[in-house]
Amino acid sequence: MKGSIKMHTRHLLLALTVATLMSCGSVEAGEYTTVAYTVGASDTLDSIAQTYLPPDRGNSWQAFAEFKEGIFEYNFDRIFIHRQPYEVRTGDSLLITFWK
């Protein structure tokens, strides 16, 4: 059962990554970046996503929601698997990926 959940999570992550790449336009337009961010005492996943949301994604609610979900999914197996959805704790190290 656990193996099928991990497989499902990997497929979902792959699908979200592909969808994100397709919505970003040309891959040649920028550089793919990964940032390690340490969560501070007053941080929420919303505030972190707002800080790192690339300007070329626009400032629509949908762009924000997709970016936040991408952070959640990318860190799911390391951070969020045994927590309430989107719960971050002081000291967590999130990996945030985006096209720069």
CB-CB contact of 39 with 48 (8 Å): yes
| Dihedral of alpha carbons 86, 92, 98, 100, sign | positive
d(CA 7, CA 14): 11
pLDDT of residue 46: 96
pLDDT of residue 4: 54
Indicate the residue type of 19.
Answer: A
d(CA 22, CA 12): 15
Is the pLDDT at 20 greater than 60? The verdict is no
The pLDDT-based confidence of 27 (bands split at 50, 70, 90) is: very low
Indicate the residue type of 25.
Answer: G
pLDDT in tens, 55-91: 878 779 999 999 999 999 999 999 999 999 999 999 9
Decide: helix, strand or coil at residue 30. coil
For Cα atoms 14, 36, 54, give the angle at the middle one, nearest 5 degrees. 70
Is the pLDDT at 47 greater than 80? The verdict is yes
CB-CB contact of 80 with 72 (8 Å): yes
Poorest-pLDDT segment among 12-16, 61-65, 91-95: 12-16
